[in-house]
């Protein structure tokens, strides 16, 4: 069932066209992240969903209900902000009670829900504390509880972890995701942090300059990015330019490059002669020293020769930069205690399934 439909919304501030035909459809219970660089329109999109902004055109539906013109208080949303936005002069219980009182929930039921939601965020017994008596992480959990206590149909979160230190942020990612799954609430999460989006989301909307670059699962986005922009924004990647020389199947191709022919997979329907880029993630490349036997190589494996131009120790491995015959530089992650040295000749090996085509 579709919980939320964003249908071709546009938003302008003066001459600036901020959101350009944004369309997304979100299923009941899904956790969807809006991911993109600062200023790309994530918060504006979320504010349109919440009702704090009205799009110039397009529609927003909660289930079947068109809420495009509804006030925020009539949309059945819970919202969590980066700044927590707790009422400083109210206790935790009063902060949680506020939205329930506005909704005319009777006292006994208010008490029951507050107790329940505080136990969900593991803050039982904190009812009488004031926000200033809580750590940043605890305040963020109160903000989460306050959004959930009204039992909204959609939970909206705008960079809720950005003010927390790295360790706490990591913990809170799992905490929020776990809580969201237990409650089963449809959630939209704004972040500019790609690893946060990847570990938390069912689906990711990658945004750039007010348009959606790609909408898909974390795996789709990481392994089958729709463009160079997406590939560059999510994780590290190497690209080699080339032309389609042969279609081997519905999604597998041979690509002619300056380093020779490379077996790849890619979107269907590419015709011979199409300009493309072959993308290979650093962790999917294996290395072999010059002259070392190719004992584990398979017949369709790609092998490119090059020489090491830098080797950077990274604790959990070494990052090599390897210059190919074409002049392209490839970044390669290698583990083990005997990495290559600068100047060594090396063969880079990767499977066709790990080489993905991007439109050039």
Ligand X SMILES: Nc1ncnc2c1ncn2[C@@H]1O[C@H](COP(=O)(O)OP(=O)(O)O)[C@@H](O)[C@H]1O
Residue 160 contact, options Mg ion, ligand X, none, Cβ 5-8 Å cut-off depending on partner type = none
Distance CA 287, CA 318 (A): 12
Phi, psi of 137 (to 5 degrees): -65, -40
Shortest reach from residue 42's CB to ligand X, in Å: 3
Q: By CB under 6 A, tell whether 172 contacts ligand X.
A: no
Q: Is the C-alpha dihedral spanning 234, 237, 243, 244 positive or negative?
A: negative
Size of the site for ligand X (CB under 6 A): 10
Distance CA 197, CA 202 (A): 9
Three-state secondary structure string covering 23-54: EEEEECCCEEEEECCCCCCHHHHHHHHHCCCC
Shortest reach from residue 190's CB to Mg ion, in Å: 6
Alpha helices, DSSP H, located in the chain: 42-50, 92-102, 107-120, 136-149, 166-183, 194-200, 218-223, 228-233
Q: Measured from the CB atom, is 4 or 285 closer to ligand X?
A: 4
Residue 263 contact, options ligand X, Mg ion, none, Cβ 5-8 Å cut-off depending on partner type = none
Q: How many CB atoms lie within 10 A of CB 121?
A: 21
Grouping H, G, I as helix, E, B as strand and the rest as coil, residue 315 is coil
Q: By CB under 6 A, tell whether 43 contacts ligand X.
A: yes
Residue 88 contact, options ligand X, Mg ion, none, Cβ 5-8 Å cut-off depending on partner type = none
Residue 18 contact, options ligand X, Mg ion, none, Cβ 5-8 Å cut-off depending on partner type = ligand X
Shortest reach from residue 55's CB to Mg ion, in Å: 17
Binding residue for ligand X (CB under 6 A) from 22, 35, 41, 214? Answer: 41
- The stretch near ligand X (CB under 6 A) out of 34-42, 272-280, 284-292, 293-301 is 34-42
Q: By CB under 6 A, tell whether 33 contacts ligand X.
A: no
- The stretch near ligand X (CB under 6 A) out of 33-41, 245-253, 255-263, 271-279 is 33-41
Q: Measured from the CB atom, is 42 or 277 closer to ligand X?
A: 42
Residue 13 contact, options ligand X, Mg ion, none, Cβ 5-8 Å cut-off depending on partner type = ligand X
Q: By CB under 6 A, tell whether 44 contacts ligand X.
A: yes
Question: For 11-27, b where at least 16 C-beta lie within 10 A, e where not — what string?
Answer: beeeeebbbeebebebe
Distance CA 61, CA 43 (A): 18
Beta bridge partners of 356: 265, 279
Residue 264 contact, options ligand X, Mg ion, none, Cβ 5-8 Å cut-off depending on partner type = none
Distance CA 331, CA 236 (A): 9
Q: By CB under 6 A, tell whether 40 contacts ligand X.
A: yes
Distance CA 129, CA 355 (A): 55
Binding residue for ligand X (CB under 6 A) from 39, 88, 107, 268? Answer: 39
Q: Measured from the CB atom, is 44 or 238 closer to Mg ion?
A: 44
Q: Do the beta carbons of residue 33 and residue 199 sit within 8 Å? A: no
Residues near Mg ion (CB under 5 A): 43
Q: By CB under 6 A, tell whether 49 contacts ligand X.
A: no
Q: By CB under 6 A, tell whether 42 contacts ligand X.
A: yes
Residue in 95, 93, 50 with CA at minimum distance from that of residue 73: 50
Residue 39 contact, options Mg ion, ligand X, none, Cβ 5-8 Å cut-off depending on partner type = ligand X
Distance CA 142, CA 134 (A): 9
- The stretch near ligand X (CB under 6 A) out of 37-45, 108-116, 135-143, 296-304 is 37-45
Q: By CB under 6 A, tell whether 174 contacts ligand X.
A: no
Distance CA 206, CA 211 (A): 9
Q: By CB under 6 A, tell whether 52 contacts ligand X.
A: no
Shortest reach from residue 78's CB to Mg ion, in Å: 18
Binding residues vs ligand X (CB under 6 A): 13, 18, 36, 38-44
């Amino acid at each position: 069932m579709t919980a939320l439909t964003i249908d071709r919304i546009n938003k302008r501030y003066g001459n600036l066209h901020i959101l350009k035909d944004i369309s997304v459809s979100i299923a009941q219970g899904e956790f969807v992240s809006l991911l993109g660089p600062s200023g790309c329109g994530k918060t504006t999109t979320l504010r349109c969903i919440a009702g704090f902004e009205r799009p110039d055109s397009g529609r927003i539906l909660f289930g079947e209900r068109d809420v495009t013109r509804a006030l925020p208080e009539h949309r059945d949303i819970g919202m969590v902000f980066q700044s927590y936005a707790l009422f400083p002069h109210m206790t935790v219980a009063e902060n949680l009670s506020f939205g329930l009182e506005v909704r005319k929930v009777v006292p006994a039921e208010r008490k029951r829900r507050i107790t329940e939601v505080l136990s969900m965020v593991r803050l039982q017994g904190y009812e009488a504390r004031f926000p200033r008596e809580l750590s940043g992480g605890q305040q963020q959990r109160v903000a989460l509880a306050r959004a959930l206590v009204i039992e909204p149909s959609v939970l909206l979160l705008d960079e809720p972890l950005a003010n927390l230190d790295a360790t706490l942020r990591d913990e809170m990612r799992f905490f929020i995701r776990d809580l969201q799954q237990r409650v089963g609430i449809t959630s939209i999460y704004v972040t500019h942090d790609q690893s946060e989006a990847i570990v938390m989301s069912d689906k990711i909307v990658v945004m750039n300059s007010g348009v959606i670059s790609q909408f898909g699962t974390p795996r789709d986005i990481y392994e089958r990015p729709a463009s160079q922009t997406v590939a560059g924004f999510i994780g590290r990647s190497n690209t080699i330019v080339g032309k389609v020389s042969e279609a081997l199947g519905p999604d597998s191709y041979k690509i002619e490059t300056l380093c020779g022919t490379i077996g790849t997979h890619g979107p269907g329907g590419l015709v011979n002669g199409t300009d493309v880029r072959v993308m290979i993630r650093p962790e999917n490349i294996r290395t072999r020293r010059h002259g070392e036997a190719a004992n584990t190589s398979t017949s369709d494996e790609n092998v490119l020769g090059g020489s090491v131009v830098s080797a950077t120790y990274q604790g959990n491995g070494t990052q090599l930069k390897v210059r190919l015959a074409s002049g392209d530089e490839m970044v390669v992650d290698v583990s083990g205690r005997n990495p290559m040295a600068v100047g060594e000749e090396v063969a880079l090996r990767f499977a066709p399934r790990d080489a993905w085509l991007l439109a050039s």
